């Protein structure tokens, strides 16, 4: 039995909880490369994921995870060849990752995970990342002619934030950057991909790495120059396929079921694939 160790890295509102819930619905009801095992070998408490799925079945969004929450579920999975694996999937308040960055301190529990994990899942919601593309040109203007942008640039530019955070985490995990990284494998999931480009029927999507390079060029070149190409993949992820309100009642979710919603765009681009387990299957080599 394999028990692959993965680390999930995602800030607040990046889509961790909804991806976990949808992943659970998929492997249980509409399996792709990974499916839920229904043997009784693995005692697992899946109630947190059941709760997310229950919200989605009613057509509404699940709750924000409180900042101090750290919870883990054990997903008993099997791959397409019938190989069994138990995947521990964490969910936590995304503020914790911000704190790692701000305090430049990594809690012990994170340290051992980062060191042991064979794969990292990096969730980036491009639409919510703050950058200051015109800050440099503003600097060359006379002070009195500057727009508000320069004054507003109090938050870190997302390019600098992610590169700094990744360097910090790699250092803590004891991963050097002289040679290209082979372990951990890295799956970058560009989450809520539906809000970033319109999904029209029959549309062929560009490789998601292009979207990362367009929006966060520094992050893109840091990742692509530090990881070996065969252990890095960049996906578009829309766990829900559309926005959901906390008090909403989206009919497609109620009528068709959450397992019919959501898709991924594979690294090479193409048409949306409903198999939300695909990036994880790639990560664990299934």
- Crossing angle of helices 217-226 and 158-172, in 10° steps, is 30
Complex with Mg ion: residue 16 or 37, whichever CB lies closer: 16
| Contacts to Mg ion from residues 36-65, by CB under 5 A | 65
Judged by phi (left if over 0) then psi (alpha if -120 to 50, else beta), residue 207 lies in: beta
Nearer to Mg ion, 61 or 114 (CB): 61
With CA atoms as reference, report the closest residue to 97 among 21, 9, 38, 229: 9
Query: Cβ of residue 3: shortest distance to ligand GTP, in angstroms?
Result: 24
Structure token digits, residue 58: 């009613």
Residue 225, C-beta contacts closer than 8 angstroms, at least 6 positions apart: none
> Among 11-19, 38-46, 110-118, 227-235, which window interacts with Mg ion (CB under 5 A)?
11-19
Strands (E), 80-209: 84-92, 119-124, 185-190
Task: Based on the shown chain and the rule CB under 6 A, indicate whether residue 18 belongs to the binding site for ligand GTP.
Answer: yes
Tokens of 243: 């926005």
Task: Output 107 or 217, the one with its CB closest to Mg ion.
Answer: 107
- 14 is a site residue for Mg ion (CB under 5 A): no
Q: Which of residues 183-202 bind ligand GTP (CB under 6 A)?
A: 192, 194-195
**One of 34, 73, 216, 239 touching ligand GTP (CB under 6 A):** 239
Task: Name the β-bridge partners of 71.
Answer: 91
261 sits near ligand GTP (criterion: CB under 6 A)? no
65 near ligand GTP, judged by CB under 6 A: yes
In angstroms, rounded to a whole number, what is the distance separating the alpha carbons of residues 189 and 170? 18
Shortest distance (Å) from residue 62 CB to Mg ion: 8
Q: Which partner in Mg ion, ligand GTP, none is near 194 (CB below 5 to 8 A by kind)?
A: ligand GTP
Least separation, in Å, of the C-beta of 150 and Mg ion? 34
Which of 247, 264, 12 lies closest to 128, judged by CA? 12
Residue 186 or 250 having the CB closest to ligand GTP? 250
User: Residue holding tokens 């492997």?
Assistant: 27
Bridge partners, residue 36, by sequence: 77
Kindly list the residues in this chain that would bind ligand GTP in the complex (CB under 6 A). Answer: 10, 12-18, 61, 64-65, 93-94, 192, 194-195, 238-240, 242-244
Kindly list the residues in this chain that would bind Mg ion in the complex (CB under 5 A). Answer: 16-17, 65
């Amino acid at each position: 039995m394999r028990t692959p160790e993965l680390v999930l890295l995602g800030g607040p509102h990046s889509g961790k909880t909804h991806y976990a819930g949808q992943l659970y619905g998929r492997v249980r009801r509409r399996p792709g490369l990974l499916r839920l095992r229904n043997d009784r070998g693995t005692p697992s408490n899946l109630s947190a994921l059941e709760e997310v799925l229950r919200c989605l079945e009613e057509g509404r969004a699940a709750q924000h995870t409180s900042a101090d929450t750290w919870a883990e579920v054990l997903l008993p999975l099997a791959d397409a060849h019938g190989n069994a694996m138990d995947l521990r999937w964490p969910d936590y308040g995304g503020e914790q990752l911000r704190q790692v960055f701000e305090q430049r301190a990594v809690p012990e529990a994170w340290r051992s995970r980062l060191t042991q994990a064979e794969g990292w899942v990096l969730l980036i919601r491009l639409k919510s990342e703050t950058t200051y593309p015109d800050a440099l040109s503003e600097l060359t203007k006379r002070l009195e002619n500057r727009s508000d942008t320069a004054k507003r640039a109090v938050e870190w530019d997302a390019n600098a934030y992610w590169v700094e955070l990744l360097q910090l985490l790699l250092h803590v995990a004891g991963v050097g950057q002289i040679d290209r990284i082979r372990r951990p494998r890295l799956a970058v999931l560009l989450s809520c991909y539906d809000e970033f480009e319109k999904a029209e029927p029959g549309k062929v999507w560009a490789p998601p790495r292009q979207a990362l390079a367009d929006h966060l060029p520094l992050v893109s070149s840091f990742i692509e120059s530090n990881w070996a190409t065969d252990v890095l993949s960049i996906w578009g992820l829309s766990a829900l396929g559309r926005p959901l309100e906390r008090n909403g009642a989206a009919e497609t979710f109620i009528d068709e079921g959450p397992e019919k919603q959501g898709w991924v765009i594979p690294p090479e681009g193409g048409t949306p694939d409903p198999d939300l387990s695909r990036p994880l299957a790639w990560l664990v080599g299934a």
